[in-house]
Structure 1
């Protein structure tokens, strides 16, 4: 029989499950709506849909590297307890490995085949929700690559190889010694993890961010009653200080605060044996930007105990 779009839509609204799974369920049950609901429940998909309303702000950052390319992924769970689950860790590691072929595109990564299952990455995440019992989400991915050099990775609060709570990539273009280049790149990645720069260089600062700072400094300077010529110099001086605080290459290097990151890179060229250009960085902190629910732990325990 032919399954109509209206039937699929009705089942989706009833269960919260994706359109393709709803269509499959209806096909498998001859269009019987209640039987399709039961089919989805048996597959664990309806159960997964119910969990999808719960906030997932824990989880892990995964990293993978191949040749001159590295990738980060963030896979969220509801609790840190699940992040310590070996099945969840294996899931994140596998997704990170698949991310190398997605080139930083989330939709492409979700559509990638998940190894050995016949499912896509997105479908495997849904399967894990039903199996592990918590809401999960593949939130984001990013990739950096150089034609010659290294993309160094650093995982902070690592729980296993390539898995942690904060991940950083730093791309370094150079024909020099790759081992020494990797050492320097890792130190810069640790700096990025600690300091969280806004941009690689001044040109990469978002125009709205620079304009906002400039406007604030101008207002503060005018309040001093100084002439416009002096105000302009005051604003430029404060903008230089702003750039030193937020631009990676101008920041004081955490490994040696007596030099900037740019100076550390220049010094590193002698050890590497060739010029070095830092071409980009990525920093993923787990759950950043997700509005977390405030929970009353005592009330949760009481509810679980039936009090």
Structure 2
């Protein structure tokens, strides 16, 4: 059964789960709304979404230094209680997020953080690219939407592919941990430092290095 945007929207309204999770649930249940709701409940995703309005003021400022001392990350990850902040699961999540930042070097935390002038510039570049490829003007706008989504996925931490599992985004990893831990979890802010940043230097494959340490 074809899964429509209206079906996804309806399921999201009923459960509060994310768009991609709703689409996956509907696909897994062949479009059956009741079964899709159960699917999300079983995975804890519907319950996780309902925690979005809670206050998360505890947590950790987690530090990660890449093994050769050339990359350092500080990231603040919030939860609701100090008890959860001290658990192994939460600390493992913080480490995964810090390693993601070290490896993938996101420019922004989420798409809402991208300044309008950056978006305007990116749209113009993408528009010219499409026109230079000889694409008809009438489909250029549609192409820009898809290419802008790619920009978000490459530059926004929450939308990046998880370095340990490319089938998941960082937002999905957080949502799964909310369901597992039972508290709201937020990434509030982060800083990434790279030795000699801004200076002329050789270009190493830091993603491969960080991934090697993650194993």
TM-score tier, shorter chain, comes to 0.5 to 0.7
**Aligned twin of 2:157:** 109
Report if the CA contact (8 A) 2:161-2:167 is conserved. Answer: no
How many residues get paired? Answer: 150
Report whether the alignment pairs 1:100 with 2:102.
yes
Distance 1:114 1:75 in 2: 18
Structure 2 residue runs of 5 or longer lacking an equivalent are 111-155, 200-215
> Measured at CA, do residues 116 and 10 of structure 1 come closer, stay the same or move farther in structure 2, by a change above 3 Å?
closer
**Aligned twin of 1:124:** 173
Report if the CA contact (8 A) 2:73-2:102 is conserved. Answer: yes
Distance 1:104 1:4 in 2: 31
Distance 1:15 1:56 in 2: 21
User: What is the Cα deviation at residue 69 of structure 1?
Assistant: 2.4
SS at match of 2:72: strand
Report whether the alignment pairs 1:136 with 2:185.
yes
**Aligned twin of 1:40:** 40
Distance 2:31 2:106 in 1: 39
Where do residues 47-58 of structure 1 align in structure 2 (5 Å cutoff)? 47-58=47-58
Q: Which one has the largest radius of gyration?
A: 1
**Aligned twin of 1:65:** 65
Distance 1:103 1:109 in 2: 8
Q: TM-score, normalised by structure 2?
A: 0.63
Correspondent of 1:145 among 191, 194, 201: 194
Distance 1:54 1:60 in 2: 17
> Measured at CA, do residues 54 and 31 of structure 1 come closer, stay the same or move farther in structure 2, by a change above 3 Å?
same
> Measured at CA, do residues 2 and 118 of structure 1 come closer, stay the same or move farther in structure 2, by a change above 3 Å?
closer
Q: TM-score, normalised by structure 1?
A: 0.45
Distance 2:18 2:165 in 1: 22
Higher strand proportion? 1
**Aligned twin of 2:29:** 29
Report if the CA contact (8 A) 1:122-1:138 is conserved. Answer: no
Report whether the alignment pairs 1:84 with 2:86.
yes
SS at match of 2:50: helix
Could you list the per-position Cα deviations for residues 3-29 of structure 1 after superposition, in whole angstroms to 9, with x for gaps in the alignment?
111111111111111111111111111
Distance 1:85 1:146 in 2: 31
> Measured at CA, do residues 45 and 36 of structure 1 come closer, stay the same or move farther in structure 2, by a change above 3 Å?
same
Distance 1:44 1:125 in 2: 12
SS at match of 2:54: coil
Distance 1:14 1:119 in 2: 23
User: What is the Cα deviation at residue 52 of structure 1?
Assistant: 1.6
User: What is the Cα deviation at residue 117 of structure 1?
Assistant: 8.5
User: What is the Cα deviation at residue 65 of structure 1?
Assistant: 2.1
Higher helix proportion? 2
Distance 1:116 1:4 in 2: 27
Structure 1 residue runs of 5 or longer lacking an equivalent are 149-170, 174-307
